[in-house]
Amino acid sequence: MERSLIAHLKIGEVNKIQGFVENIRNKRTMAFLVLRDYTGRVQLTVEKEKHPEVAAIVDQLTVESVITAVGPVVENSYVKMGGVEMLPESMQIESIAEPLPISKDAAIDSRLDYRWIDLRSDRNTLIFKAQTTLVAAMRNFLLERNFLEIHTPKLIAAASESGSDVFELKYFDRKAYLSQSPQFYKQMAMAAGFDRIFEVGPVFRAEKSFTNGNELHHLLPRRHEHRGGAAAGRPEGRQGKVRRSD
């Protein structure tokens, strides 16, 4: 059976879901679990007498363990999470979690040491959802207007802008640099006759800043108007940037 995301559960049908066990209430005759994936949460209600094999698995679970559950999803007005619950008929343990090494209010250094755990929070997940929506909207807007998307090299043999500090690194037996700007490649694309181009991606500028991180540049579209030849015309557009503090 194909897995269903929690946000897309089909009420009245048997569903297969996978996720992290966020909460466990293990009573004498019943057990209640809250299962979480990146789209949402759902309550799992286990009748121990009816499904003793599932009850035995619940007894082994810890918070943040990963499980797969299969069962019908039904409406229940007493359930606070969307008024639906799953009645699992089978359950499989994918991994048992040890006690978490960080808490929600841990210091930033500890959170970065265990970044994969820190990213499980609703707040951090929402950041990536907002980013995905924003980039998709920009990309769709430009594609609808016949822009071509390009992906320029980020590792280059020479500094792309003279007089600027660069991030230097070793590439086998020679020096290489992180790209400071896609301008050179965008101009080549325009000379090739790609009238409208855009790129969404990072550039790396080794500039001192009052923030804790390097500048994050959002590369906006550039349009080439043909006037008398493939290489003629004046590029229009701009490159914007915002500073990032994380």
CB within 8 Å of 113: residues ≥ 6 apart: 102
Please tell me whether residues 86 and 156 are part of one structural domain: no
Count how many domains the chain has.
2
Q: Which pLDDT band, with edges at 50, 70 and 90, does 232 fall under?
A: very low
Please tell me whether residues 90 and 156 are part of one structural domain: no
Question: Does residue 67 belong to any structural domain of this protein?
Answer: yes
Please tell me whether residues 168 and 234 are part of one structural domain: yes
Interval 131-155 mean pLDDT: 95
What token pair was written down for 197? 């181009």
**Cα–Cα dist 144/66, whole Å:** 41
**Cα–Cα dist 128/112, whole Å:** 16
Please tell me whether residues 166 and 225 are part of one structural domain: yes
pLDDT (tens digit, 9 = 90+) per residue, 171-208?
999 999 999 888 889 999 999 999 999 999 888 888 77
Question: Does residue 29 belong to any structural domain of this protein?
Answer: yes
Helices marked H in 73-121 — which ranges?
A: 108-113, 115-118
Please tell me whether residues 159 and 238 are part of one structural domain: yes
What token pair was written down for 201? 């991606």
Question: Does residue 190 belong to any structural domain of this protein?
Answer: yes
* Domain span including residue 55: 6-95
pLDDT (tens digit, 9 = 90+) per residue, 79-106?
998 899 999 999 999 999 999 999 888 9
Question: Does residue 64 belong to any structural domain of this protein?
Answer: yes
